[in-house]
């Protein structure tokens, strides 16, 4: 079993996935438009050129997404896409590049569990956490230490550099 995030967009999926492909050094392996669907599949008027399904592969992992039907789109809330990296410099780069035009929720910095950790909402409205753990920063059962306390005490949101 694997857990895979599926991100919903309001018309900006293609732009977002091309950005993520570049920032995360991944590869888009599928980009299906509503117009690619077989005849008879219901579609919103004017959405034929939008993305029904996108698939990005990064290091053997997948990130999926699509432009939600108009009546079904809602602003993302209650989750973050979490990126775990081994190199602090790479964590800084990813955080900086994802944050262009977005909002920093918790600036990238050192925490008790991580060499580098930061939270942001990108310019597409997707919330991200970028984490580079300290060696041995796992819980007693081998689970990664989570960051709810740090997130709860984060400073006020600010616009990321553009």
DSSP readout, 19-76? HHHHHTT-EEEEEEEGGGSPTT----TT-TTSEEEEEEEETTEEEEEEE--GGG----
From residue 114, give the alpha-carbon distance in Å to each of 8, 19, 48, 76, 133: 29, 26, 44, 26, 4
pLDDT digits (tens, 9 = 90+) for 52-95: 999 999 999 999 999 988 777 888 888 999 999 999 999 999 99
> CATH 3.10.180.10 residue ranges in the chain?
6-70
pLDDT digits (tens, 9 = 90+) for 25-36: 999 999 999 988
Under CATH, what is the fold of the domain 6-70? 2,3-Dihydroxybiphenyl 1,2-Dioxygenase; domain 1 (3.10.180)
Q: Of 5 and 149, which is predicted with more confidence?
A: 5
pLDDT digits (tens, 9 = 90+) for 108-144: 999 999 999 999 999 999 999 999 998 856 543 343 4
81-159, which class in CATH?
alpha beta
Rounded-to-integer distance, Cα 36 and Cα 11, Å: 16
pLDDT for 142: 41
Q: Of 155 and 24, which is predicted with more confidence?
A: 24
Quick check: 125 and 76 in contact, CB under 8 A? yes
Quick check: 120 and 159 in contact, CB under 8 A? no
pLDDT for 125: 96
pTM, to two decimals: 0.81
Q: Of 155 and 5, which is predicted with more confidence?
A: 5
Number of H helices, E strands in the chain: 3, 9
> CATH 3.30.720.110 residue ranges in the chain?
81-159
């Amino acid at each position: 079993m694997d857990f895979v995030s599926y991100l919903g967009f309001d018309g900006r999926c293609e732009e977002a996935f091309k950005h993520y492909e570049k920032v995360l050094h991944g590869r888009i392996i599928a980009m299906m438009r509503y117009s690619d669907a077989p005849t008879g599949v219901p579609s919103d008027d004017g959405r034929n050129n939008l993305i029904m399904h996108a698939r990005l592969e990064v290091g053997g992992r997948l990130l999926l997404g699509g432009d939600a039907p108009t009546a079904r789109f809602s602003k993302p809330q209650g989750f973050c896409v979490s990126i775990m990296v081994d190199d602090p410099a790479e964590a800084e780069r990813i955080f900086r590049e994802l944050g262009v035009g977005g909002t920093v929720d918790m600036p990238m910095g050192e925490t008790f569990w991580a060499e580098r950790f930061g939270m942001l909402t990108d310019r597409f409205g997707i919330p991200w956490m970028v984490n580079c753990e300290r060696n041995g920063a796992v819980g007693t059962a081998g689970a990664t230490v989570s960051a709810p306390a740090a997130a709860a005490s984060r400073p006020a949101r600010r616009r990321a550099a553009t």
